[in-house]
Structure 1
């Protein structure tokens, strides 16, 4: 049913990402699907500046771990953004189309008061992506 799963990640790896990674691995194993990890990065105030090489090393290590857990092919893609906070949602929705994903598995947090005003990233994807979105809380 699904052949290509996009898995958006925050490289800080909050608990929601770790839980969603387990689900993505299980679905990929069950469906025989490829996984592509997608990260949107940029220089944010307060974050240490990371080089593209360091970001790719982190993504490669995470992809290797996910490949071991899922037993399927895992690729990765880093999208550089000038303003991650403003662009991440659109970048992820476009990335799903660009890589040909037919399912997005995204982790999210429990609803907060601000989520009633602004949607979470997973909420945005669920409302705007052109493919199925599996949101893990």
Structure 2
């Protein structure tokens, strides 16, 4: 049913992302699907964790864990953004199209008061992506 699953990740791995990775691993195993992990990062002054080397190392750790857990072909893609907060939603939507994903598995938090004013990243993807979006809470 699904042949290519995209998982947007925050490399700091909040609990919502970990849960989405677990769900995606099970789906990939069941569907025998390829998985692409996509991260959007930017360079912030003084933020060592956002260096290209650090981001690559963090993504490779996630790739290795997910590959072992699912048995799937897993790769990572990092998108560099000048303004992550403003560009992340559009970057993720475009990435899904560019890589040919047919499912996005994304983690989200329980709704907060601000979510009634501004859409969450998962909400944006669910509204705007041209492929199926599985939101994990």
Q: TM-score normalized by structure 2? A: 0.96
Give the deviation of 1:47 after TM superposition. 4.2
Give the deviation of 1:43 after TM superposition. 2.6
- 1:93 and 2:66 equivalent? no
> Matches of residues 57-96 of structure 1 in structure 2 within 5 Å?
57-96=57-96
Report the counterpart of residue 17 of structure 1 in structure 2.
17
Q: 1:54 to 1:99 in 2, by over 3 A?
A: same
Report the counterpart of residue 35 of structure 1 in structure 2.
35
Report the counterpart of residue 5 of structure 2 in structure 1.
5
Task: Count how many residue pairs are aligned between Structure 1 and Structure 2.
Answer: 137
Q: Name the CA distance, whole Å, in 1 between partners of 2:33 and 2:68.
A: 14
Instruction: Give RMSD over aligned pairs.
Output: 1.2
Give the deviation of 1:48 after TM superposition. 3.8
- Contact preservation (8 Å) 1:43, 1:49: no
- Contact preservation (8 Å) 2:28, 2:72: yes
Give the deviation of 1:50 after TM superposition. 2.8
Q: Name the CA distance, whole Å, in 1 between partners of 2:113 and 2:82.
A: 27
- Contact preservation (8 Å) 1:28, 1:70: yes
Q: Name the CA distance, whole Å, in 2 between partners of 1:76 and 1:48.
A: 20
Report the counterpart of residue 116 of structure 1 in structure 2.
116
Structure 2, unpaired ranges of 5+: none
Give the deviation of 1:46 after TM superposition. 7.6
For residue 114 of structure 1, give the secondary structure of its aligned residue in structure 2. Answer: helix
Q: Name the CA distance, whole Å, in 2 between partners of 1:45 and 1:123.
A: 29
Q: 1:71 to 1:49 in 2, by over 3 A?
A: closer
